[in-house]
Amino acid sequence: MGAVTAAGLGADALWNAARTGNSAVREVDLPGRENARVNIAAAIGGSTDEAIAEYTNATTDRFAAMTLLATEEAFGQAGLTQRSLEERCGIVLGTGAGGAVSTDRNARAFYVKDVDAEPMSVPKVMPNAAASLISMKHGITGPALTISTACASSAQAIGLGFEMVRSGALDRVVVGGSEAMLTPAVFRAWEMLHVLTPTASRPFSTRRDGMVLGEGAAIFVLEAADSATARGAESLAILAGYGTSSDARDMLRPDAEGAARAMRLALQSANLPPAAIDYINAHGTGTVYNDLAEARALRMVFGEQTQTMPVSSTKPIHGHCIGAAGAIELIVTVSALHAQIVPPTINWLGADPKCPLDPVPNESRPVGMEAALCNSFAFGGINASLVVRRDQR
């Protein structure tokens, strides 16, 4: 697996920030937002930004550049050779906005400065650009797909890749997602929904008042167990189950029954009972209604177990990365299984009686874990849950 987030370059940087509760949220300086109510985000900067810039060019938007960079880490860790990246390998990625940075820049150039758009602006902003660039760079001739389902995008991309490998259609698949949407116009659009906090994200906590946007990318190499064993690859974890559902109710307001259905389907897919799950990495945005709905859904699936089972959200650390959220949080979940440490829900001020959970408040906790579940719920009523377990082979 590989990652590019506001916490730094690499999956280890992401996990270290999540484990220690070291938030990457900071004030951001965006043109035209000097008097805005919300001016915080988990924005990438410093040496990580410089590394992204090396992959950004006339045909590559920021979201795709981050994907390429995260893919390099994942491929290096997986020990893939060119022979492994041909017909029996596919790509499934997720993004919510695609090339938002290029869209914003070209619109500003045309409407404000009255100059032409970049000649390659169309291929730069296409949501499928990242998948195509990975395919071209590494010679992957299998299917190259892009999923765009808002905040569930990368979780569904991972789930679809999982199903393709499990069905035998592919030996391995590159999955994950990326999002780079911290532009003035997009930021303002989210602010107008009244879901952003001006202070701090506090999932499941009393006095929570919204989420914090972020940007980043996370990539995994999923591979059939026999294929990985044949080439001597070291497994980080077993992706055991995937469930997805649609609320079919409201575009913005989450529905507990739909979320519960996705979790049950993921458990069925993994052939595990609810009692087998030792940790849940929650969607946990820190908005009032999302946290209430997720807490209710967890109660529907896990019952009294929710009062003692650790359920944490790491979005206050790396931000809500929309289409990349599920993949970034799956890296945290896999890392938690490896370390046997549950990352904390930081900024927590006190229990909300309507969210009867154990959110691992403010400090990480050693926990013996064999299996974990990772949730992603999206506008449009789209839900996705992934189950991972330790590889004990």
pLDDT digits (tens, 9 = 90+) for 334-357: 999 999 999 999 999 999 999 999
**pLDDT value, residue 42:** 98
Domains of the chain with CATH codes:
2-230 (3.40.47.10), 238-389 (3.40.47.10)
pLDDT at residue 111 above 90?
no
- Predicted confidence (pLDDT) at residue 115 exceeds the cutoff of 90: no
CA dist 342 and 335 (Å) reads 9
Digit-coded pLDDT (tens) for 274-302:
999 999 999 999 999 999 999 999 999 99
Please give the full DSSP string across 55-70, using - where no structure is assigned. H-BTTB-HHHHHHHHH
Is 75 in contact with 89 (CB distance < 8 Å)? no
Q: Provide the 3-class DSSP secondary structure of residue 388.
A: strand
Question: How confident is the model at residue 118, as a pLDDT?
Answer: 86
**Cα angle 271, 277, 278; round to 5:** 155
d(CA 192, CA 316): 20
**Which region among 95-99, 118-122, 326-330 has the lowest average model confidence (pLDDT)?**
118-122
The predicted structure's pLDDT at residue 80: 87
Q: What is the pLDDT of residue 83?
A: 73
Distance of CA 301 to the CA centre of its chain: 23
Beta bridge partners of 90: 173
Phi, psi of 285 (to 5 degrees): -80, -25
pLDDT greater at residue 85 or residue 383: 383
Catalytic, 374? Answer no
Which pLDDT score, from 0 to 100, does residue 325 have?
A: 98
3-state secondary structure of 167: coil
Q: Rounded to whole angstroms, how far apart are CA atoms 102 and 329?
A: 26
Q: What is the pLDDT of residue 109?
A: 85
pLDDT at 11 over 80: yes
The amino acid at residue 173 is: V
180 phi-psi bin (left φ>0, alpha ψ -120 to 50, beta other): beta
| Catalytic site residue from 89, 138, 318, 320 | 320
Active-site entry in 151, 321, 355, 374: 151
What single-letter amino acid sits at 207?
R
Instruction: Please enumerate in sequence order all residues whose Cβ is within 8 A of that of 266, keeping only pairs 6 or more positions apart, or say none.
Output: 241, 242, 243, 373, 385, 386, 387
The residue-averaged pLDDT of 300-309 equals 96
| pTM to 2 decimal places | 0.97
Residue 368 clears pLDDT 90, i.e. is over it = yes
Clarify whether 318 is annotated catalytic.
Answer: no
pLDDT at 154 (0 to 100): 98
Mean pLDDT for 79-104 is 90
The residues with which 94 forms a beta bridge, in sequence order, are 147, 177
Residue 110 has pLDDT above 90, yes or no: no
Average pLDDT, the chain: 95
Q: At residue 367, does pLDDT exceed 90?
A: yes
Query: What pLDDT does residue 116 have?
Result: 82
- Which comes out higher in pLDDT, residue 368 or 107? 368
Percent of the chain with pLDDT over 90: 88
Residues 6 or more apart from 254 whose CB is under 8 A from it?
A: 247, 289, 290, 293, 294, 377, 381
Among 138, 283, 318, 355, which one carries the catalytic annotation? 283
**Is 321 an annotated catalytic residue?**
no
User: What are 164-192's pLDDT values in tens digits?
Assistant: 999 999 999 999 999 999 999 999 999 99
For residues 81 and 271, give the distance between their C-alpha atoms in angstroms, rounded to a whole number. Answer: 33
pLDDT of residue 375 exceeding 90? yes
Q: What is the pLDDT of residue 29?
A: 87
> Helices in the chain by DSSP H: which ranges?
11-20, 46-55, 62-78, 100-111, 121-125, 129-138, 153-166, 184-192, 225-230, 256-270, 288-302, 315-318, 325-339
Distance CA 183, CA 205 (A): 29
Residue given tokens 């795709």 in the structure block:
64
CA distances from 158 to 107, 339, 345, 363, 385 (A): 32, 22, 24, 29, 10
